[in-house]
Structure 1
Amino acid sequence: MAGEMSVLGSVVLALFLAGYLGQQYLPPPKPRVVGLDLGTTFCSVAVFHPGIGDVEVIGDEQGRKSIPSVVSFTPTGVYVGYQGQELAHSNPLNTIYDAKRFIGKVFDPEVLEREGARYQFKVVTNNGSAEFLLSTNHTFTVSPEFVSSRLLLKMKMMAERHLGVPIEKAVISVPAEFDERQRNYTIRAANLAGLDILRVINEPTAAAMAYGLHKADVLNVLVVDLGGGTLDVSLLNKQGGMFLTRAMAGNNKLGGQDFSQRLLQHVIEEVRQQYGVLPTRKEDIHQLREAVEAAKLNLTVQQSVVLRTPLEMETKPVMYEAVLTRKLFEELNDDLFQKVLVPVETVLEEGGLSREEVDEIVLVGGSTRIPRIRQIIRDYFGKDPNTSVDPDLAVVTGVAIQAGIMGGSWPLQVSAIEIPNRHLRKTNFV
């Protein structure tokens, strides 16, 4: 008996030793489960690499870490991401964006008509669900989940090209406010792209995981997600290794696009004053819009930038040039920046917490890079928000960690388990 135990012990020891040596000297297996962030304005895909324990956000053909959530339909094909975005001005009626706002939702006809009026493409109803009416070489409709599936297929192909292996399984993030129907329709979109979804994870929880808060000694986490078109604020309560979303609030008509629009309106007025006529040509407005967007991004790291762009105008071609300062940008948007605090105060009130009881403030979304936004949050809480993770990639990073867990990757991570809060409702402000 003792001899048998000795042999068994030797076998177990040999197995452990083989596993250790394999981790040290053999190339780790390719990840087979990806993490997907299907965002309203941008999408990203990432993987958790076994062995080294790093998350890699996968770039497109040009190495860009995210792609616009834009799909353009033409007589010759379907163009996704940056290719779709490039067709937005020449093919506006057949270029769909913001599909995530419609996926899985049931609309009253009046509400859908009001929502659809914001877009150049045509939004129609099908038994309460939204569809997009397109006309290329024939007229047809597509659903929000089909549009989303094209984005997910693009990211699947990006991952397969980069990793060199077929990708069939994924973990995907959704807003915490999504109900069961919206989650199921998101899964349906992934299935249309040839993906099996192993888990759906809330975006605030994913962001908290990216910041390592699933392993940290924290209790109350506030996630401020300010992207291109929406603001979402979530209050998470961590109980052991589990996250409970205690309160949500937001503004689905506030984001970086609004800040850019204020700056664009100022620049258009400056052009009028300088040349005596407003720029009215579609091409000129497009040029100014792109120059303003670039200036906004540069003003997050610089105090001033020079905006320089050619304009045809109605009378003669000109080269418009202006100096834009961060101070001017902040003054133009001061009232919009202050609106960020409205849902923050609401989630604290609904969650029954004072601002002093928040252990960690996590920033998500590219617009949280704006220095004035960070200052407003810092002044309100009396402490710095956590900025250790790229806010644009925080959600997809957390989703990739969860994908690594679902794929059994080594080194093993602590899984983030979400506690469903059936009574949770999101408060929206405009």
Structure 2
Amino acid sequence: MAGEISMIGSVILALFLAGYLGQQYLPPPKPKVIGLDLGTTFCSVGVFHPGSGEVEVVADEEGRRSIPSAVSFTTTAVLAGHEAVDLADSNPQNTIYDAKRFIGKTFEPEVLERESARYPFKVINNNGSAEFEISTNHTFTVSPEFIGSRLLLKMKKMAEQQLGVPIQKAVISVPAEFDERQRNYTIRAANLAGLEILRVINEPTAAAMAYGLHKVDVLNVLVVDLGGGTLDVSLLNKQGGMFLTRAMAGNNKLGGQDFSQRLLQFTKERVTQEFGVTPALKEDIHRLRQAVEAAKLNLTVHPTTNIHVPLHLQIQDSSDPPKKVMFNAEITRKQFEELNEDLFQKILTPIKIVLAEGYLEKEEVDEIVLVGGSTRIPRIRKIITEFFGKEPNTSVDPDLAVVTGVAIQAGIMGGSWPLQVSALEIPNRHLRKTNLN
């Protein structure tokens, strides 16, 4: 008997030793499962590397670690990401963005009409579901999940090119308020891109995993997700590796695009004051919009920035050719903050709502997690800090928090070494999101 136990012990020791030596001297296996963040404005793909336990957010050929959630149709091609955005001004009717707002949702006719009024492309009602009408060399319609599939396909190819292996499996994130139908249509989009979805994870939970909050002794986590087009606030309660979403609130018409629009309007007024002509040509508006977006990003790290934009101003009711001018202006962070102060203050409203609905005092929040590029804005961080009386957790890039967490979960689903503690989500079927417009 003792001999058998000794033999078993020797076998176990040999297995551990083989595993250790293999991990030390053999190249780690390639990741088998990718993590996908299909955002409203931007999307990203990440992989969890076995052995090192590191997450890599895959970059495109230009080194950019996220791509715009836009798809453009021409007579010869379907373009996704940055290539689509480049056509947004010259091909606005056939460049689709914000498709995530429509995926899997059922609309009343008047609601869909109101929602679609803001877009340059045509949204039609197909028995309560939204579809987009495309007119190239012929007219046809595409679904929101088809738009999503083209973005997911592009990210799949980015991951395959980086890893050098074919990818068929993924974990994908969705907003916590997505119902079963919206989740299923998101999975359908992934299937159209040739991907099998092993698990759907809520975006706030993914963000918490990116910060390592699924492993530490933190009970109450507030996630503020402010992206390009939407604000989502979630209150999570964690016990061990399990998360329960206690309350959600948000504003689906508040985000970085709104802050940029205020600065764009301010810049157009400066052009009018200086040259006596309001910029109206599509090319001029496109250049100004790009310059304003760059200025907004610069002002997150610098107190001032400069805008230099060549314009071709067209005098109304004149047959003269457009006048070529160079517009130069200095923009200060203070000016940007004053232009948007009322919008910034709106961020506190859903925060107060989730605390009230979650029966929690702000002092009881253990961690404040920031997600989305717009949370980089210093004034927004200051408003949140002053409200809670403590600094939010900024240890993770807010642009990449969700994709990082999804990639960790993808590594777990793929059996990657070292083993991680998986974060389980407790379904809360009675939960409803309070949406502010």
Query: Shared topology, TM-score over 0.5?
Result: yes
Give the secondary structure class of the aligned counterpart of 2:198: strand
Take 2:256 and 2:390, find their aligned partners in 1: how far apart are those partners? 24
Give the C-alpha shift of residue 67 in structure 1: 0.4
Take 2:364 and 2:285, find their aligned partners in 1: how far apart are those partners? 47
- Which residue of structure 2 lines up, in the alignment, with residue 346 of structure 1? 353
Give the C-alpha shift of residue 87 in structure 1: 1.1
Give the C-alpha shift of residue 352 in structure 1: 0.2
Take 2:236 and 2:277, find their aligned partners in 1: how far apart are those partners? 52
- Which residue of structure 2 lines up, in the alignment, with residue 270 of structure 1? 270
Percent identical across equivalent pairs? 79
2:190 aligned partner, one-letter code = A
Give the C-alpha shift of residue 2 in structure 1: 2.7
Contact 2:34–2:46, Cα closer than 8 Å, also in 1: yes
Take 1:285 and 1:73, find their aligned partners in 2: how far apart are those partners? 22
Take 2:180 and 2:90, find their aligned partners in 1: how far apart are those partners? 37
Take 1:375 and 1:25, find their aligned partners in 2: how far apart are those partners? 48
Asked if 1:97 is matched to 2:97, the reply is yes
What 5-or-longer segments of structure 1 have no aligned partner? Answer: none
1:62-73 mapped onto 2 (5 Å cutoff): 62-73=62-73
Take 2:63 and 2:278, find their aligned partners in 1: how far apart are those partners? 38
- Which residue of structure 2 lines up, in the alignment, with residue 356 of structure 1? 363
Take 1:234 and 1:344, find their aligned partners in 2: how far apart are those partners? 8
Give the secondary structure class of the aligned counterpart of 1:312: strand
1:374 aligned partner, one-letter code = R
2:224 aligned partner, one-letter code = V
Take 2:27 and 2:86, find their aligned partners in 1: how far apart are those partners? 40
Q: 2:402 aligns with which of 395, 403, 411?
A: 395
1:270-289 mapped onto 2 (5 Å cutoff): 270-289=270-289
1:21-420 mapped onto 2 (5 Å cutoff): 21-314=21-314, 315-420=322-427
Q: RMSD of the TM alignment (CA)?
A: 0.7
Give the C-alpha shift of residue 409 in structure 1: 0.6
- Which residue of structure 1 lines up, in the alignment, with residue 433 of structure 2? 426
2:95 aligned partner, one-letter code = T
Take 2:235 and 2:8, find their aligned partners in 1: how far apart are those partners? 51
Give the C-alpha shift of residue 216 in structure 1: 1.1
Give the C-alpha shift of residue 48 in structure 1: 0.4
**Any idea what the Cα deviations from partners look like across 1:367-391, whole Å, max 9, x if unmatched?**
0000000000000000000000000
Take 1:352 and 1:27, find their aligned partners in 2: how far apart are those partners? 50
Contact 2:215–2:240, Cα closer than 8 Å, also in 1: no
**Any idea what the Cα deviations from partners look like across 1:49-87, whole Å, max 9, x if unmatched?**
000000000001111100000001111010010111111
Give the secondary structure class of the aligned counterpart of 2:323: coil
**Any idea what the Cα deviations from partners look like across 1:184-208, whole Å, max 9, x if unmatched?**
0000000000000000000000000
What 5-or-longer segments of structure 2 have no aligned partner? Answer: 315-321
Take 1:140 and 1:316, find their aligned partners in 2: how far apart are those partners? 40
Take 2:98 and 2:261, find their aligned partners in 1: how far apart are those partners? 17
Give the C-alpha shift of residue 6 in structure 1: 2.2
With the length of structure 2 as denominator, give the TM-score of the two structures: 0.98
**Any idea what the Cα deviations from partners look like across 1:305-331, whole Å, max 9, x if unmatched?**
111111111252111101100000000
- Which residue of structure 1 lines up, in the alignment, with residue 10 of structure 2? 10
Equivalent pairs, count: 430
- Which residue of structure 1 lines up, in the alignment, with residue 318 of structure 2? none
**Any idea what the Cα deviations from partners look like across 1:231-272, whole Å, max 9, x if unmatched?**
000000002210000000000000001001111111111111
Give the C-alpha shift of residue 116 in structure 1: 1.1
Take 1:95 and 1:280, find their aligned partners in 2: how far apart are those partners? 20
**Any idea what the Cα deviations from partners look like across 1:138-168, whole Å, max 9, x if unmatched?**
1111000011000000000000000001100
With the length of structure 1 as denominator, give the TM-score of the two structures: 0.99
Give the C-alpha shift of residue 3 in structure 1: 2.4
Give the secondary structure class of the aligned counterpart of 1:119: coil
Give the secondary structure class of the aligned counterpart of 1:35: strand
